[in-house]
Structure 1
Amino acid sequence: MAEGKKIRGKTQETVGKAEEATGRATGKSDLRAKGKADQVEGKTRQAAGKMEDVAKGTAEEAKGKARKHK
């Protein structure tokens, strides 16, 4: 699930970069702003995916230590 969030986030970030560049090239400030917003949202999704990975790894590590001490 975390991988999916990271992939969707990277895709959204890339689309946002394209929108921003198109807006800049055409002089459309609304498209440029939407592109910037999409980039931020994409980066946020990627960070959420990474945090899920960290949390899952920490939980697995704790389970492993608990099993060792039984």
Structure 2
Amino acid sequence: MPPLSLFRLGPAVVLLHGFGDTGDMWAPLAADLAKDHTVVVPGAGHWLMEEAPGPTIKAIRDFLPK
């Protein structure tokens, strides 16, 4: 998955991966939840990327609808 994947429909769910994993781990669940939820799957910015895109928590907060 890219650094931030978003699937919009219904109530929001944010799926965060743990240390040593990637957002790809959520792909099957995200696909199922996306049938009736807004699913946000952010990457931590440190895996398979040349450099981190910035503070992850702030980026997620700024991205999510108010």
Asked whether the two chains share a fold, i.e. TM above 0.5, the reply is no
Question: Which is richer in strand?
Answer: 2
TM-score with structure 2 setting the length: 0.28
State the TM-score, normalizing by the size of structure 1: 0.27
